[in-house]
């Protein structure tokens, strides 16, 4: 019988956040696959865990995954841990999980700390709908593509950023998204945990005169529905009214209802659309 892959969440700063279930699983597993064995050794030593470790990281994730799959098929139970937080979130663990699913090997997750969720709950921004982007790509073209795609995102957005890249990222966000609300979270769960609710432009100014320290989670306000509606109406206003009328009437919509929809699209009253069509009978006859 094949073994089980256990995804074990580890603390993102405060060791007291380690769950009893994870401690027990790490002690009972046959192997612990760790992102950085030197870093994980400190954690295991703290909790008196002596299970053998093997490295599993970004640079060996495919080749090593095949080795781990073989061991799982032999019946060994493997616990996967990352340097901090939940494995497979912005982490090479997702490759191993996918391969286990393909091989029909059981995977189970032991929940615990996650920096993105911790930051979201502390942000003061909407938590009902959100999207997680992790670290932005370093490739300039890919980076711009993602930032452009976020410009119209209505959900709360969560990004990770290293301190030496923070200033650049904030300026790019300001250029692409405008002056949205943002909450900067650093050193989460640690002694010097800092939560800064501000705006993107204010954050740019703040870090022009201050060197960022620690890993950051950026929680950014999505574009409001009102703002999206205003932009759509502005775009509609650039189009000829006759074109919009034709669009609706070609769908079999009656003239009165079409005028009502055109008015709603443009953020004006139905009376204004009616008056315009009366003043431009030649154009309206072609509808």
Query: pLDDT tens digits for 189-246?
Result: 999 999 999 999 999 999 998 999 999 999 999 987 767 666 666 676 677 888 888 8
Q: Are residues 144 and 194 in the same domain?
A: yes
Domain span including residue 201: 126-221
CA pair distance 244, 233, nearest whole angstrom: 12
**Predicted pLDDT at 229:** 61
Residue 121 belongs to a domain: no
Domain boundary among 175, 192, 221: 221
CA angle, corner 259, sides to 278 and 281, nearest 5?
Answer: 20
Residue 119 belongs to a domain: no
**Predicted pLDDT at 244:** 80
**Predicted pLDDT at 254:** 85
Q: Which two tokens stand for residue 262?
A: 């055109």
The alpha carbon torsion through 217, 108, 57, 11 (nearest 10 deg) reads 40
Is residue 281 very low, low, confident or very high in pLDDT (cuts 50, 70, 90)?
low
**Predicted pLDDT at 245:** 81
Q: How many domains does the chain have?
A: 3
Specify whether the CB–CB gap between 3 and 71 falls below 8 A.
yes
**Predicted pLDDT at 79:** 98
CA pair distance 23, 106, nearest whole angstrom: 20
In this structure, the number of other CB atoms found within 10 A of the CB of residue 141 comes to 7
Q: Which two tokens stand for residue 59?
A: 């640079």
**Which positions ≥6 away from 60 have C-beta within 8 Å?**
none
Residue 62 belongs to a domain: yes
Instruction: Give the position of tokens 């064995």.
Output: 37
Domain boundary among 113, 136, 163: 113
Residues 67-88 pLDDT 10s: 999 999 999 999 999 999 999 9
Record the pTM: 0.79
pLDDT (average), residues 34-44: 95
Q: Are residues 232 and 215 in the same domain?
A: no
Q: Are residues 99 and 19 in the same domain?
A: yes
More confident residue, 281 or 7: 7
Q: Which two tokens stand for residue 200?
A: 């993107």
Q: Are residues 211 and 276 in the same domain?
A: no
Residue burial 190-201, b: 16+ Cβ < 10 Å; e: rest: eeeeebeeeebb
**Predicted pLDDT at 82:** 95
Domain boundary among 113, 137, 171: 113
CA pair distance 21, 131, nearest whole angstrom: 29
pLDDT (average), residues 131-137: 95
Instruction: Give the position of tokens 């939940």.
Output: 86
Q: What is the CATH number of the domain that holds 196?
A: 3.30.950.10
% of the chain exceeding 70 in pLDDT: 94
Residue 208 belongs to a domain: yes
Q: Which two tokens stand for residue 132?
A: 């997680």
Q: What is the CATH number of the domain that holds 90?
A: 3.40.1010.10
Q: Is residue 28 scored above 70 in pLDDT?
A: yes
CA pair distance 245, 259, nearest whole angstrom: 7
Q: Which H helix or E strand runs over 133?
A: strand 130-135
The residues that bridge with 186 in the sheet, in sequence order, are 194, 216
Q: Are residues 109 and 139 in the same domain?
A: no
Residue 268 belongs to a domain: yes
Residue 280 belongs to a domain: yes
The radius of gyration computed from the CA coordinates of the chain, to the nearest angstrom, equals 26
Q: Are residues 109 and 15 in the same domain?
A: yes
Residues 14-26 pLDDT 10s: 999 999 999 999 9
Q: Are residues 131 and 207 in the same domain?
A: yes
Q: At 111, phi and psi to the nearest 5?
A: -65, 155
**Predicted pLDDT at 287:** 44
């Amino acid at each position: 019988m094949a073994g089980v892959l256990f995804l074990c969440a580890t603390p993102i700063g405060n060791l007291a956040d380690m769950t009893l279930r994870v401690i027990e699983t790490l002690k009972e597993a046959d192997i612990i696959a760790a992102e950085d064995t030197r870093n994980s050794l400190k954690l295991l030593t703290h909790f008196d865990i002596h299970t053998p470790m093997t490295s599993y990281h970004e640079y060996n994730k495919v080749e090593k995954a095949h080795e781990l799959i073989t061991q799982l098929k032999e019946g060994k139970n493997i616990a996967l841990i990352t340097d901090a937080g939940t494995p497979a979130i912005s982490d090479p663990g997702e490759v191993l999980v996918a391969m286990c699913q393909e091989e029909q090997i059981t995977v189970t997750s032991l929940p615990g700390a996650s920096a993105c969720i911790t930051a979201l709950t502390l942000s003061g921004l909407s938590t009902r709908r959100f999207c997680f982007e992790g670290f932005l790509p370093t490739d300039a073209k890919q980076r711009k593509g993602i930032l452009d795609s976020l410009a119209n995102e209505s959900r709360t957005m969560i990004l990770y950023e290293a301190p030496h890249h923070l200033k650049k990222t904030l300026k790019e966000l300001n250029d692409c998204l405008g002056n949205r609300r943002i909450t900067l979270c650093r050193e989460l769960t640690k002694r010097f945990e800092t939560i800064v609710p501000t705006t993107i432009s204010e954050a740019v100014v703040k870090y022009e005169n201050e060197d960022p320290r620690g890993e950051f989670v950026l929680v950014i306000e999505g574009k409001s529905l009102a703002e999206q509606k205003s932009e759509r109406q502005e775009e509609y206003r650039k189009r000829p009214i006759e074109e919009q009328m034709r669009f609706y009437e070609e769908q079999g919509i009656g003239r009165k209802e079409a005028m009502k929809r055109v008015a709603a699209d443009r953020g004006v009253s139905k009376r204004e659309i009616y008056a315009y069509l009366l003043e431009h009978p030649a154009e309206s006859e072609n509808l």
